[in-house]
Amino acid sequence: MIQRLRLDAPTKDSKNIPESTQEVITYFKGKGSNKREAERFYYYYESQGWRVGKNPMKDWRMAASGWISRNKKNEPDSDYLGGQLNAMKN
């Protein structure tokens, strides 16, 4: 008898699904984000069964990087603003 693997169900390995919210929080903080965004990411994808659309997530860290990037897009760039303020002072 041939055994079939279910490719549609995500497996709990280190690349597909994080072990805990703490692992996600640590990753987000390392990327310059915060605990609140990490928890939002974790609970969103937990509720979705760690799927992106109808497909199982391949790498949660890459999904998290995209999440962080999209979130930062709405925030002003503090380096740019700081440079502008310094130029105005001189």
pLDDT digits (tens, 9 = 90+) for 66-75: 999 998 866 6
Report the residue count for the chain.
90
Query: CA-CA distances (angstroms) from residue 28 to 14, 17, 46, 58?
Result: 16, 15, 16, 18
Does residue 80 sit within a domain? no
pLDDT at 84 over 90: no
Radius of gyration of the chain (CA): 18
Does residue 58 sit within a domain? yes
Q: What's the number of domains the chain is made of?
A: 1
Does residue 39 sit within a domain? yes
Does residue 86 sit within a domain? no
* Residues of the domain holding 20: 11-73
Does residue 34 sit within a domain? yes
Q: What amino acid occupies position 29?
A: K
pTM over 0.75: no
